[in-house]
Chains A and B, each alone.
Chain A
């Protein structure tokens, strides 16, 4: 009996939390439609989430593409099909690794910083100060981050895809002396619009997910330094897990 009660309580808590998160994101978007429009804030966030993540995304992409080509080359050679190396690299990157890895890197770099920034503003009463000035914090703080991340993450994923495929080219063609023409033409023939479209869809939903989870956790930080640490950890872990779960779900629907 006790166990059932506990499960019931846990389920209720979880449902309540999910309801609150839903309300949080919906009201943020609702506030975005009301003037004043925070154009400058959005640009600032685009710079922070997008532009400043390019280095780490490029770095991850290069090595992902390179290692894919390396592994792929030796596997494919067993079957004598090195010619399709390009398509193997490109498809794994465009469909899976690009969106997932770029999103994980953005979570680690920008998401955690978002949670910490908002959390500190909560603890030091800066969010309350906004409230007392009749400025809605969801509109001023959260909305611009949601929009910026919706725009920035797909762009970063696109960058990841291009750089990753080129990284694969460097290893597969330049280093291992593969056939250059085969590399590119196998990509051209294998990659379909559906693959690209799926990748874009994934990256948009990851963009929303990251800023949603990270802003929510920061916004509801408990009043202590410990609370801030917990919020940041929870934000990163929850975002990462949700990205992977949601990725599986989307893949199974899209395939």
Chain B
């Protein structure tokens, strides 16, 4: 279980998180939504200890990592994998080596086991046969999928996805969503996803949380979330309504 208590963070003189209280249930897929620049990526970085809060606590399975450093923090991080919004592939390595990297370095696997798992993951994200390329030779969407493969390949306890489908075409986005859901069913990891894919995320997430003005404005199971009465949140998740008035079909929830 991941639990944030009163997390506050000021970045560049501007308060970003202003007391985030958030409990993310273990083994479930929780999606965080919110306006661009609201602090969703910053929130994910607090969960994995890349940023430390000015005030507040970040509990990962009973350890408060808010002030943890060095080796102790590394121990907690072994439970995690993360897909960065920018994919953050190592540009000195091929796609294959990128995906193999955590297997070799973290799980200390070698030889055929690595190759097999890497090829399997690359095929699942639709990058079969692209392994020999360098990140600079890929499109933005392909990089994102390579980053996804690198996060999924470790099969850890907790995976953080920062906008896994941004920059992908609708079909590819759907197949990535399907892949995340399938992997989630199979391995039962705790998934925390940041996404702008409304309404699709309501169909795949167990829980949805909305970050607004540096706090969690609402958190509920996705079927409940859409019934919210908060006007601003309704406006945010039902902008699709404006499409209807223009005679375009909205995706059904």
| Pair B101/A133 contact, Cβ less than 8 Å | yes
State in angstroms the CA–CA spacing of A72 and B207 once bound together: 81
Q: Given that A125-B86, A126-B88 are known contacts, is A132 also in contact with B80, CB under 8 Å in the complex?
A: yes
* A125 touching B84, Cβ below 8 Å: yes
B102 contact set on A, CB distance < 8 A = 133
- Is the CB of A134 closer than 8 A to any CB of chain B? yes
Q: Is A131 an interface residue when CB atoms closer than 8 A count as contact?
A: yes
Chain A residue at smallest Cβ distance from B106: A133
Asked if A133 and B105 make an inter-chain contact with CB atoms under 8 angstroms apart, the answer reads: yes
Q: Is A136 located at the chain interface by the 8 A CB criterion? A: yes
B82 at the interface (CB under 8 A from A): yes
In the assembled complex, the Cα of A221 lies from the Cα of B82 at a distance in Å of: 23
Interface residues of A in 116-144 (CB under 8 A from B): 120-121, 124-126, 128-129, 131-136, 140
Chain A contributes a number of interface residues (CB within 8 A of B) equal to: 15
Question: Taking CB as reference atom, which chain A residue is nearest B105?
Answer: A135
A215 to chain B, nearest CB (A): 16
| Interface membership of B90, Cβ < 8 A | yes
Nearest CB on B from A52, distance (A): 15
Q: Measured between C-beta atoms, what is the minimum distance from B78 to chain A in Å?
A: 5
Q: Chain A's nearest CB lies how many Å from the CB of B76?
A: 9
B150 CB, nearest partner CB in chain A, Å = 8
Is B213 engaged at the interface, CB distance under 8 Å to the other chain? no
Residue in A124, A128, A134, A136 whose beta carbon sits within 8 Å of that of B50 in the complex: A128
Contact A129 B88 (CB under 8 A): yes
Chain B contacts for A125, CB-based, 8 A: 84, 86, 88
The chain A residue sitting closest to B74, CB to CB, is A134
Within 8 A of A (CB), among B100-121: 101-102, 105-106, 108
Interface flag for B91 (CB, 8 Å): yes
Complex CA gap A133/B105 in Å reads 8
Query: Which listed residue, B77, B86, B90, touches A134 by the CB 8 Å rule?
Result: B77
Question: Hey, which chain A residues are within 8 Å of B90, CB to CB?
Answer: 121, 126, 129
Q: What residue of chain B has the Cβ atom nearest to residue A128's Cβ? A: B50
Nearest Cβ on chain B to A130's Cβ, whole angstroms: 8
Residues in B49-96 with C-beta less than 8 Å from chain A: 49-50, 74-75, 77-78, 80-82, 84, 86, 88-91
Bound-complex Cα distance A36 to B90 (A): 20
CB distance from B117 to the nearest CB of A (A): 15
Q: Which of A9-67 contact B (CB under 8 A)?
A: 36
Nearest chain A residue, comparing its CB with the CB of B81: A132
Interface residue from A120, A121, A129, A134 paired with B84 (Cβ < 8 Å): A129
B48 proximal to A (CB < 8 A): yes
Q: Are B88 and A136 in contact (CB under 8 A)?
A: no
Q: Is the CB of B88 within 8 A of A124?
A: yes
B77 / chain A contacts, CB cutoff of 8 Å: 131-134
**Within A61-102, which residues are at the interface with B (CB < 8 Å)?**
none
A136 to B89, CA, bound (A): 17
Chain B residues closer than 8 Å to A36, beta-carbon distance? 105, 108
CA separation between A124 and B80, bound complex, in Å?
20
Contact at A134–B88, with CB atoms within 8 Å?
A: no
Q: Out of B48, B80, B106, name the residue touching A135 (CB < 8 Å).
A: B106
Q: Are B106 and A134 in contact (CB under 8 A)?
A: yes
Residues of chain B lying within 8 A (CB to CB) of residue A128: 45, 50, 84, 88
Known: A126-B91, A128-B88. A134 touches B78 (CB 8 A): yes
Chain B residue nearest to A131 (CB atoms) is B50
Give chain A nearest CB distance to B197 CB in angstroms. 22
> What separation, in Å, do the CA atoms of A198 and B80 have in the docked complex?
50
In the complex, the chain A residue whose C-beta lies closest to that of B84 is: A125
Residues in B whose Cβ lies below 8 Å from that of A129? 82, 84, 88-90
Closest to A138 in B: B70
Query: Distance (Å) between the CB of A213 and the closest chain B CB?
Result: 22
Q: Which residues of B contact A121 (CB under 8 A)?
A: 90
17 contacts between A and B (CB under 8 A): A36-B105, A126-B89, A126-B90, A126-B91, A128-B45, A128-B88, A129-B82, A129-B84, A129-B89, A132-B48, A132-B81, A133-B81, A133-B101, A133-B102, A133-B106, A134-B106, A140-B105
Closest 8 CB pairs of A and B: A125-B88, A129-B88, A134-B77, A134-B74, A132-B82, A134-B78, A133-B102, A128-B50
B residues whose Cβ falls under 8 Å from a Cβ of A: 45, 48-50, 74-75, 77-78, 80-82, 84, 86, 88-91, 101-102, 105-106, 108
15 new A-B contacts, CB < 8 A, other than A134-B77, A135-B105, are A120-B91, A121-B90, A125-B84, A126-B89, A128-B45, A128-B84, A128-B88, A129-B89, A131-B50, A131-B77, A132-B50, A133-B105, A133-B106, A134-B74, A134-B75
